């Protein structure tokens, strides 16, 4: 096929501009690899006059992304605006309704509306691709839907938000408290307009929900993701975790068990010597485990102009080649309804307690733990100058319900001066 594949791009932020640059820079290479030319025919954004550092004069302009999605001279609608509803959702639905293929980087929209959109795309016999929505330049969607298609996936795990990894890494390496690093990340533009999307684990939770659907053949269930952010992580936790051979990461874990689909996005301790433990700064890492292949580790830039635009172009080239694949790796109608697991698998936990410095306090804590069925693997008490005694513990494997029961028991004794901090230790 020699006819060009014609793109309409909605959203001219960092990623949209990156896509334009790749197409302008590698026109001949892309045509050779795709088997046909790839060209941009029209674009859409909030402001027509803004200087974006690229020449937009060769392209048509639409103020309304829905109009762009319906243009007769557009074959593929590339949605890079973001937002789970509003113009992004309306324009993608319009594109599918008009028989256009869709490429998007919008994890929030797909985590909420992905099932219906996938069903609509497959009914219209058009592609809905989203490699750029998860882990930036890491080709994890392709890995799951293509490279590992012959495996029963047993676990998906990873660091999927570079901003959180940057904050935690900087806290550890520089000894800078959370509030200071948070302000620094905000000034550098690393945080979303609503910072809780990043530090609250929501952004990464969207990504985990999408990976779970592909990995386990289940309907996207973002509501079933157990979310916990990094806001309560202190320098003390990071330093003491390091002393015990661990590092703290905002870690996503998904696995299908007899209890249902377990999806967690929460701070965890991982061995410092593990690939996840060695991940620095704003990088992402996804670990996939399959029954035939074993463990696969994918590492790379999780955001930014080049990496995310690279992922967009991988989907565009697949469409240009005529490659068709169901949105989530199998027909959307075949994705199973699976109940969210009500409890996570047992694990060891790190506990940080601030206790009264008085005789018998540790005995009361030990009794509260024992009454809840929680046993202590290791304990360390640090020197202190006031009446607040910092005590760190690592438990043997236990359930979160048993641990919460134990923590309530400790509070009831009156010996705890602050709310205890409990962080899961993940086996990686």
Candidates 207, 356, 364, 397; catalytic one: 207
DSSP character for 133?
Answer: G
Q: Which of 240, 231, 223 is nearest to 266 (CA)?
A: 231
E-assigned strand segments in 193-282: 226-227, 246-257, 260-271
Q: Catalytic site residue 207?
A: yes
Cα(82)–Cα(312) distance, integer angstroms: 14
Coarse DSSP helix, strand, coil percentages of the chain, rounded to the nearest 5 percent: 40, 25, 35
- Angle 146-147-150 from CA coordinates, rounded to 5°: 85
Cα(86)–Cα(102) distance, integer angstroms: 17
Cα(293)–Cα(153) distance, integer angstroms: 9
Could you tell me whether strands 5-10 and 38-44 are parallel, antiparallel, or unpaired per DSSP bridges? parallel
E-assigned strand segments in 125-223: 128-129, 153-159
Cα(10)–Cα(47) distance, integer angstroms: 12
Secondary structure element (H or E) that encloses residue 44, with its range: strand 38-44
Q: Which of 129, 80, 124, 127 is nearest to 98 (CA)?
A: 124
Q: What is the CA radius of gyration of the chain?
A: 24
Residue 81 backbone class (left: φ over 0; alpha: ψ -120 to 50; beta: rest): alpha
| Chain CA centroid to CA 288, Å | 14
Residue with tokens 């999605």: 69
Cα(323)–Cα(224) distance, integer angstroms: 32
Looking at the DSSP bridge assignments, the partners of residue 44 are: 10
DSSP character for 63?
Answer: S
Q: Which of 262, 424, 415 is nearest to 351 (CA)?
A: 424
Which residues lie closer than 8 Å to 110 by C-beta, 6 or more apart?
104, 117, 130, 133, 206, 210, 220
Catalytic residues: 207
């Amino acid at each position: 096929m020699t006819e060009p594949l014609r793109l309409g791009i909605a959203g001219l932020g960092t990623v949209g501009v990156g896509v334009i640059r790749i197409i302008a820079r590698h026109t001949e290479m892309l045509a050779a690899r795709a088997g046909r030319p790839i060209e941009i025919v029209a674009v859409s954004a909030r402001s027509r006059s803004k200087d974006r550092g690229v020449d937009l004069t060769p392209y048509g302009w639409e103020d309304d992304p829905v109009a762009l999605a319906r243009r007769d001279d557009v074959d593929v609608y590339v949605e890079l605006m973001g937002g789970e509803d509003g113009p992004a959702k309306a324009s993608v639905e319009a594109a599918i309704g008009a028989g256009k293929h869709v490429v998007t980087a919008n994890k929030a929209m797909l985590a909420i509306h992905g099932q219906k959109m996938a069903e609509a795309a497959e009914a219209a016999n058009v592609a809905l691709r989203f490699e750029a929505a998860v882990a930036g330049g890491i080709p994890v969607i392709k890995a799951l839907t293509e490279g590992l298609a012959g495996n029963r996936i047993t676990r998906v795990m990873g660091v999927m938000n570079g901003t959180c990894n940057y904050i935690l890494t900087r806290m550890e390496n520089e000894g800078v408290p959370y509030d200071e690093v948070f302000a620094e990340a905000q000034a550098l533009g690393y945080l979303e307009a609503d910072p809780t999307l990043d530090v609250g684990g929501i952004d990464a939770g969207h990504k985990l929900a999408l990976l779970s659907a592909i990995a386990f053949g289940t309907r996207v269930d973002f509501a079933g993701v157990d979310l916990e952010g990094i806001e309560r992580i202190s320098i003390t936790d990071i330093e003491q975790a390091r002393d015990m051979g661990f590092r703290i990461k905002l870690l996503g874990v998904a696995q299908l068990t007899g209890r249902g689909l377990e999806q967690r996005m929460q701070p965890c301790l991982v061995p410092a010597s593990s690939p996840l433990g060695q991940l620095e700064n704003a990088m992402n890492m996804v670990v996939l485990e399959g029954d035939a292949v074993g463990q696969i580790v994918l590492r790379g830039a999780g955001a930014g102009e080049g990496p995310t635009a690279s992922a967009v172009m991988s989907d565009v080239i697949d469409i240009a080649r005529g490659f068709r694949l169901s949105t989530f790796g199998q027909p959307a109608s075949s994705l199973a309804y699976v109940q969210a697991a009500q409890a996570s698998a047992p694990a060891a936990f790190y506990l940080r307690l601030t206790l009264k410095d008085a005789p018998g306090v540790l005995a009361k804590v030990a009794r509260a733990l024992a009454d809840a069925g929680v046993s202590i693997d290791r304990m360390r008490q640090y020197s202190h100058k006031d009446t607040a005694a910092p005590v760190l513990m690592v438990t043997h494997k236990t359930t979160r319900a048993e641990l919460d029961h134990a923590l309530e028991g400790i509070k009831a004794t009156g010996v705890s001066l602050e709310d205890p901090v409990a962080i899961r230790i993940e086996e990686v």
